[in-house]
Structure 1
Amino acid sequence: MRARQLGITLGLGTPGALNAITDVPGVRVGHSTLKTRVDGKQVCTGVTVVQPRAGEARQQPCFAGYHVLNGNGDATGLEWISEAGLLTTPLAITNTHSLGIVRDTLIALERERLADPAVYWCMPVVMETYDGLLNDIWGQHVKPAHVREALDHAESGPVQEGAVGGGTGMICHEFKGGIGTASRRLPAEQGGWKVGVLVQANHGKRQELRVDGYPVGRQLMTIPSPFAERGTPGMGSIVVILATDAPLLPHQCRRLAQRASIGIARTGGGTEDSSGDLFLAFATGNQALPPADYGRKDLAFSSAVQMVNNDHMSPLFLAAAEAVEEAIVNAMLAGESMTTDDGVRVPGLDGETLLQALRETGWNSCR
């Protein structure tokens, strides 16, 4: 169950119809999930793809920006976003050792779609977190076919959460983690825009976990930790993708991405040296940006764009913080218990266990 199905309402904002990143029109999400054994080793990994618009990203670029809270992680394509402020490819999330093959496959698939690839190049954005406790990460089992599958299955509508796609082998606050999503819809008097979030949650210590501001992690310490004998509590990372239909400029997208830090902090994360905390935000509100086709000679010298006045950015910041907070909780609630190759149990956080821990801290769903 998701947080709101349990009566846990995080923040004051109103979710979109799906309470997912796909509440932002045009955004699509696809997964390819690997759960098998190869040469006697457990394979528990995958890839998740986010398409920013209904059409090809190259033909319909978005303004974008990113923020790094802690750099113990990797991502491709971010320097060009920093320089040009444009997202011109799909986004993908996978495990640490499969980042390269996912990037290369996205380039190969892009070439397939081009009439004349001699006049274009692309630098896809691929982000990662570490799944080496539950997955044979050194085996690099994500292959080009899995990237193609995730792209082919990318769709609007409800988003699968938990142990799917890139989140298949992830651990969050010493519980099973993975993919989580949530959204917020601003009231008409604040612009009426939507902010959607997708996280790959693989971070955090149990004792620091907070839900709705309550220190539930302290009530859950009797549940055995998967890091008791191997690894370190809090090791791992979180990546966050934020989407909005507000007409933001690149620097405003970067400012929106920064607010993911607040949502992570509200759940008790963001303080580990060993965590790679990377966030990217894109905005679809400007519809007429020129295509990323560098061989064309007919493009206009300038394009008319809109922007949200800075005085009206605060509701978007709040929406981003709340949606990230809720997406992390949703990722944990969707994660079912799994076991590592050497028999260590990674517990799922079921809804009733969380509700009991909340009640023990004084939480009241009717407040």
Structure 2
Amino acid sequence: MRALLFFLLLVIPANAEPRARCRELGIAPGDYPPGRHNAITDVAGVTVGHSTLIEGDSIRTGATAIVPHQGDVFRRKPPAAIAVGNGFGKLVGSTQVDELGQLETPILLTNTLNVWEAAATLVDRTLAAPGNESVRSVNPVVGETNDGWLNDIRTRPLTQKHFRAALDDAYGGPVEEGAVGAGVGTTTMGFKGGVGTSSRVLPNEAGGFTLGVLVQTNYGGRLTIGGAVIDPPRTQANTGGPPVEYGSCMIVVATDAPLSARQLKRVARRALVGMARTGANFSHGSGDYVIAFSTAETNRIPYEGDAVTRAVVVIDEARLTPLFEAAADATQEAIYNALLQAKTVRGVNGHTAEALTPDAVRRAISPPPNG
């Protein structure tokens, strides 16, 4: 299925400028190199899937699934943590993650008013899995941003089939970015937002670990790249354009580094540093969340076990700083990729969110000519 690519015909103008990831424009936050695909899927075992729904002139929404590993997530739970930049949102399952420090389902991202259908899909899938016949409690994790400026969100158009499609579509390798899945209807700092991703690989002396980030951008502020502020265009199509003052962002951080839930929370907080660098304002009405998890097999938490104690290996606390840097840098780059890969989208009530163009970025970050 791979994200129902037919929708591209509806959102890309015929004369659209070719899209670019930020590294193609010479923008590479931080010192650590990216992984092979510069994506969250560079963390071994992590997969990503999208389901996109575009109907008529008013439905612009979808879902994105992040699967932490290829086993049974419920029976082999990855350690996890959540950090909150601003809590005006609906992150289903967050309190149990905070309490127990673990994930027990994949993560689904979607729009604000469809989180309950997404949660039900994760519960149904977990209960139906072999070996879970006696399970009576499941903690699904679903994040959201409000895509109601481009999408007729009040119709709650997504059903369980759309969320199942995102989960079934999850794959490794390159990740589709921009106006796809949970990013179809989002806007960011006055531009078209979307889904973006990036990764970092630490040097051997820092453990050689990989850290990847995926974002769903829908927040306010003034876009800042390379120290330059880039304001959205004020063309006739964009007069009264998408809001620049408020919105939300979901950030998912994955790493193969063996970390405890407490250490993952520390890493998660640094992802918010990367978001801040892009010009985010963390407004009153924003729901800005980071979900971080470790894929280290030795640290997975069994659903059932007879032992009274459990041995785990974690990174020495004083060695966490490279992971902090990687989380901030990869988040910053993932957000830029989300914007640069997004296409101009027209949605409900004739609202249009114009894409950030590579030329606009080049003009902003290029030094003025001499003289």
- TM-score (normalizing by structure 1): 0.91
- Alpha-carbon displacement from aligned partner over 1:322-367 (angstroms, at most 9, x marks no partner): 00000000000011011133323211012122111212579xxxxx
CA distance in 1, matches of 2:196, 2:122: 23
Select between 190-199 and 341-350 the one with higher mean Cα deviation. Answer: 341-350
Say which SS state the counterpart of residue 349 (structure 2) adopts.
coil
Among 157, 164, 172, the alignment partner of 2:173 is: 157
State whether structure 2 residue 342 is matched by structure 1 residue 326.
no
CA distance in 1, matches of 2:74, 2:93: 14
**Map of 2:42 onto structure 1:** 23
Cα 1:192/1:97, change in 2 over 3 Å: same
**Map of 2:103 onto structure 1:** 87
**Equivalent residues in 2 for 1:108-257, closer than 5 Å:** 108-205=124-221, 208-212=222-226, 214-217=227-230, 220-224=231-235, 228-229=239-240, 232-257=243-268
The number of aligned residues is: 350
Does the 8 Å CA contact 1:60/1:287 hold for their aligned counterparts? Answer: no
CA distance in 1, matches of 2:366, 2:236: 22
**Map of 1:267 onto structure 2:** 278
CA distance in 2, matches of 1:273, 1:48: 25
Where do 5+ consecutive residues of structure 2 fail to align? 1-19
Question: How many Å apart are 1:243 and its aligned residue?
Answer: 0.4
CA distance in 2, matches of 1:3, 1:28: 22
**Equivalent residues in 2 for 1:285-304, closer than 5 Å:** 285-287=296-298, 289-293=300-304, 299-304=306-311
CA distance in 1, matches of 2:67, 2:246: 29
Select between 229-238 and 280-289 the one with higher mean Cα deviation. Answer: 229-238
Question: How many Å apart are 1:221 and its aligned residue?
Answer: 4.8
**Map of 1:100 onto structure 2:** 116
What amino acid maps onto 1:215 in structure 2? A
Select between 318-327 and 55-64 the one with higher mean Cα deviation. Answer: 55-64
Question: How many Å apart are 1:115 and its aligned residue?
Answer: 3.6
Cα 1:223/1:290, change in 2 over 3 Å: same
What amino acid maps onto 2:149 in structure 1? L
CA distance in 2, matches of 1:179, 1:80: 26
State whether structure 2 residue 358 is matched by structure 1 residue 347.
no
**Map of 1:50 onto structure 2:** 66
Does the 8 Å CA contact 1:53/1:60 hold for their aligned counterparts? Answer: no
Question: How many Å apart are 1:120 and its aligned residue?
Answer: 4.2
- TM-score (normalizing by structure 2): 0.90
Say which SS state the counterpart of residue 260 (structure 1) adopts.
helix
Question: How many Å apart are 1:60 and its aligned residue?
Answer: 2.1
| % identical equivalent positions | 39
Cα 1:232/1:361, change in 2 over 3 Å: farther
CA distance in 2, matches of 1:169, 1:290: 36
Question: How many Å apart are 1:223 and its aligned residue?
Answer: 3.5
Cα 1:86/1:354, change in 2 over 3 Å: same
Does the 8 Å CA contact 1:42/1:135 hold for their aligned counterparts? Answer: yes
Where do 5+ consecutive residues of structure 1 fail to align? 363-367
- Alpha-carbon displacement from aligned partner over 1:259-308 (angstroms, at most 9, x marks no partner): 11100111010431121101110011243534224xxxx53222210111
- Alpha-carbon displacement from aligned partner over 1:162-209 (angstroms, at most 9, x marks no partner): 11111110001111111000010000001100110000000123xx21
Say which SS state the counterpart of residue 259 (structure 1) adopts.
helix
Cα 1:143/1:215, change in 2 over 3 Å: same
State whether structure 2 residue 79 is matched by structure 1 residue 63.
yes
CA distance in 2, matches of 1:283, 1:302: 20
Cα 1:227/1:253, change in 2 over 3 Å: farther
Cα 1:222/1:151, change in 2 over 3 Å: closer
Select between 228-237 and 56-65 the one with higher mean Cα deviation. Answer: 228-237
Question: How many Å apart are 1:226 and its aligned residue?
Answer: 8.1
